[in-house]
Structure 1
Amino acid sequence: MPEPHLRAADADRSAVAARLGDQMSAGRLTVAEYDERLARAYAARTYGELAALTEDLPLPAVQARSATPVVRTGCGGGSLEAARRSWAVTAVVVLAVWTLTSIAQADLQYFWPFWVIGPWGAVLLAQTLARGRGRQPLS
C-alpha cells in the first residue's frame, strides 16, 4: 500500500472489504470480526487505517505467489483442455438439436451447427498446434 498518511479512495476501501470477505470465507475471521472490520474499512480515511485491518491476515494467494508466471490461453483465462471440453459439450448439444429438428421435420435440415462449432473448433485447433510447436497460443 502507498504511504500510510495518504487518503484512501472508495476503490481502496472496497478492495479491503473484498479481502476481508475472502478471509472470512476461509475461516480466518468470525462473522463478528468481519462485521467490525468491514465497518472500520468503510469509515477509514487513510491507507494506514486500511492496512491495520489486514495486517494480521496472510497475503492473498495472488500476491503470495507473485513469482509464478501467468499463462494466458486466450480461452477466457481457463485451460485449453477446459476450452476443448466446452467446445465438445456445445457440439453435442447443437448436433442433438439439429438431429431432433431433422427427425421432427422428417427431412434433413440445413446443417447450421457448422456455424456454431466450426469456427470455434478451428481456433482451438490453431491454439493446439501453436502450443505443440512451443509457441504461445493465439489470444
Structure 2
Amino acid sequence: MRASDVDRDRVAAVLREHTAQGRISVEEFNERLEQVYQSKTYGELARVTADLPDVDLRAQPARVPAAKSPQQGMHPGMRGAWAAWASAVAVTSVIWLLTDFGGYFWPMWVAGPWGALLLVSSIFGTNRK
C-alpha cells in the first residue's frame, strides 16, 4: 500500500522520539530520515523502523482541536520572533553596558521599532497554527 506524506511525517516523528531516547544516534537518525522521505510504501517505511520497539505505522494521529483558544499561547513563529527580538535587545544592551554605560542608550533604536511591530502583530495578527 502506498504511503502518504502524513505517514512519512509520522515515522519521522517516531524516529525523532527514538533518537531523543538514545536508541539511535544522530547520524543513524539522519540516514533513516533520508530513507523515510524516499519511501513510497508502508513496507519501505516498516523496514526503516523494524528494529525499534512500539512502532505502528497505521496508527491514526491524535486529533488536534480545530480552534485553539487564546489562553493556549501564541503561534510558534510569533514566539520565535519575540525570542529573536529579546536576544537582539539583550546583546545590544550588553554591548552598551560594556562600552558606554551611563551614556546615550542607543539599543532603544533596536528594541523600540522592532518591538512595536511585534506588539502590533501579536495583538492584531491572526493566530494561525
Rg larger in 1 or in 2? 1
**Which TM-score applies when normalising by structure 1?**
0.38
The TM-score, its normalising length taken from structure 2, stands at 0.40
